[in-house]
Amino acid sequence: MSAAFFSATYGEARQRFLDAARRAGATVQHHVHPLKGAAGEEIGTDTALLGPADAAKLFIVSSGTHGPEGFSGSACQLALLNDELAKRAADRGIALLLIHAVNPFGFSHLKRTNEDNIDLNRNFNDFATPYPDNPVYEQIHGLLVPAQWPPSADNEEQLNAAMVRLAGQRNPGVSSGQNKHSDGLFYCGTAPAWSNRTIRSILRAQGTNRRHIAWIDVHTGLGPYGHGEKIFGRHSEETTRRAKAWWGADLIVSTVTESVSPRTVGHITGCAPEECPDAAITPTTLEYGTVPNPVVRRALRGEAWLAGHPDAPEALVREVRKSVRDAFFVDADDWKGMILGQFRSYALQTINGLTTEE
């Protein structure tokens, strides 16, 4: 049953999301992206708002910040649209806002980054101040993105040795974000990307006049197979207390306990307090494990290499895109069941938590 909520392409996921949202009586909005998808289709970020439109409490679930990680986030959203939990939230005066495909270009083209090789979860910065240096990434960039693909045995060997050497470097770590290499991994960009501007406009339109906003941004690719880590960043004492009260002892407060992800600069949920300054914001990243880390890393290296080699042979492009999809989405029933089961529990905790707030 769980597997039925997962789609095979961005286009299919989008259509099913929109159909289910309309059936559920949601208010649907489209933010059409200027470029086309892999099959020439229109792409965009779509929103569905359910429940009382003027509710003081808003529960946001977003998917696809990292392109094909959206296969899981979209399935979570589709499951929620078909779940009595959505009605329960409405009955308790909570509006539900589903943001489908934050990075529709990457979702359709099977790229974790956006159309400009920007890691959107490093792009929500204040570009008026310099992005912090990442000396750990600097040491390894040349090895991560080699001149040829597939990489040589020598390159692989040197990279593996460097990764062992840098294993203890966490904050910043290799993946914390960097602003020096537009052809690299975890690149933050030089200005707010289309997705950044779109998400901010959605928040301004739908998040004002709320007292409380909870936000789960769904990701995949880090951690043990099928395990959903509830990651919570650096926040005020009051927000941290509230998050722990809602989400329990398995909440990973990344300033205290080591998360599967190093701390990042410019992540998406960080923009909520800027766009909705009057609301109490309780944000979290839900990160599901897929395949072992070296497999994920190799897929991302291929993706970065392709970004710098637009004339690569089509067979190689297809191979790299498939490796990215397979690194962030596991096409197995047990994995899909784990994804949706844990998401439902997290959503229920969020609804219960919001209910207890004034």
Residues that bind Zn ion (CB under 5 A): 66, 69, 219
In angstroms, give the least distance from the CB of 261 to Zn ion: 8
Tokens standing for residue 91: 């009955």
The nearest distance, CB 336 to Zn ion, in angstroms, is 18
> Could you tell me which residues are beta bridge partners of residue 215?
60, 283
Q: How far is the CB of 171 from Zn ion (least distance, A)?
A: 18
Q: Which is nearer to Zn ion, 217 or 275 (CB)?
A: 217
Distance of CA 184 to the CA centre of its chain: 19
Amino acid 32 reads: V
List alpha helices for 34-139, DSSP H: 70-81, 84-91, 104-109, 135-138
Closest CA to 328 of 317, 313, 339: 339
| Residue 66 or 210 having the CB closest to Zn ion | 66
Residue 48: both structure tokens together: 């569905």
**Nearest CB to Zn ion, comparing residues 66 and 301:** 66
Nearer to Zn ion, 144 or 260 (CB): 260
Q: Which residues are CB-contacts of 37 (< 8 A; sequence separation ≥ 6)?
A: 10, 11, 43, 104, 105, 108, 109
Which ranges of 67-193 would DSSP assign to H, the alpha helix? Answer: 70-81, 84-91, 104-109, 135-138, 141-144, 153-166
- Minimum CB distance to Zn ion smaller for 120 or for 347: 120
Query: What does DSSP assign to residue 39?
Result: T
Q: How far is the CB of 121 from Zn ion (least distance, A)?
A: 6
**Tokens 């078909």 label which residue?**
82
Strands (DSSP E) found in 170-320: 212-225, 228-232, 251-253, 280-289
| Nearer Cβ to Zn ion (24/231) | 231
Least distance to Zn ion, CB of residue 316, Å: 24
CB 38 within 8 A of CB 109: yes
Structure tokens at 274: 């800027």
Q: Judged by CB, which is closer to Zn ion: 212, or 215? A: 215
Min dist CB 188 to Zn ion, Å, is 14
Q: b/e per residue, 105-119, with b = 16+ CB within 10 A?
A: bbbbbbbbbbbebbb
Tell the smallest beta-carbon distance from residue 220 to Zn ion (Å).
7
Q: How many residues does the chain have?
A: 358
CB of 335 to Zn ion, least distance (A): 16
The residue among 146 and 187 lying less far from Zn ion, judged by its C-beta, is 187
Nearest to Zn ion of 219, 297 (CB atom): 219
DSSP-based three-state secondary structure for 130: coil
CA distance 37 to 29: 19
Residue nearest to Zn ion (CB): 219
SS3 state of residue 162: helix
Q: Match 């949706």 to its residue by tokens.
A: 340
* Closest distance of CB 52 from Zn ion, Å: 31
